[in-house]
Chains A and B, each alone.
Chain A
Amino acid sequence: MTTSNKPYADTRLAKFLQKRILEMRPKTQNDIASEAGFIHTNMLTMIKQGASKLPLDRVPALAEALECDPRLLAKLALEQTAGATSVRAIEEIFGTVVTRNELAWIEELRDASDHADPSLTSRGRAAVRGIFGK
């Protein structure tokens, strides 16, 4: 829940960090912060809790420390900083940014649809939900 001292608590980045840091155990949060080059390890705590934004220049090192795709972290950080609309505009200019896994999904979708470029219909949504048990 967003409060005045945690303005970014409801961002996708904060939620991603909370989950991913837990998944990295036994590596500790301090280990991750140190590997990512944060001078003060509590900075990562503040970002995770939504009190601060993730500086974009920390993205490559933090992605490596979290063992996640840097493109994913970069998109979440950019969205946190500039907003989803701005990210969309940036992607219109520079091209859609996808992770390595997402690229594999796109290639499978193309192959499964015989390159028909299917739109995401309600049936497609149900298929994705079914794949992930949602």
Chain B
Amino acid sequence: MERAADVPPCRRPITENERAWIEFLRLISNDADPPVTLRRVQLLRRAMRL
């Protein structure tokens, strides 16, 4: 199991807006920490284009 310290840091600091997205993701997923999947990315990209 990887150590927390071994994961490379974000390339640039997480913004307040991004923090809000992540907090909402946690709420909707009930803290399940869902992974990114191809399907989910497709849905996200589709929503961002609208």
A residues lining the B interface (CB < 8 Å): 12, 15-16, 19, 60, 63-64, 67-72, 74, 76, 95-96, 98-106, 108-110, 112-113, 117-120, 123-132, 134
Contacts and interface: CB of A to CB of B under 8 A. Distances in A.
A21 to B, nearest CB: 14
Contacts of A63: 1
Nearest to B6: A100
Main secondary structure of the interface of A (DSSP, over half): helix
Interface in B1-50: 1-4, 7, 10, 13-15, 17-22, 24-25, 28-36, 40-41, 43-45, 47-48, 50
A15 B7 CA distance: 26
Contacts of A16: 30-31
Contacts of B4: 60, 69-71, 74
Contacts of B19: 96
B43 A105 contact: no
B31 A127 contact: no
B24 A120 contact: yes
B7 A100 contact: yes
Contacts of B24: 120, 124-125, 128
Contacts of B14: 95-96, 98, 106
A101 B22 CA distance: 10
7 contacts: A68-B33, A70-B4, A99-B33, A106-B18, A106-B21, A118-B48, A127-B48
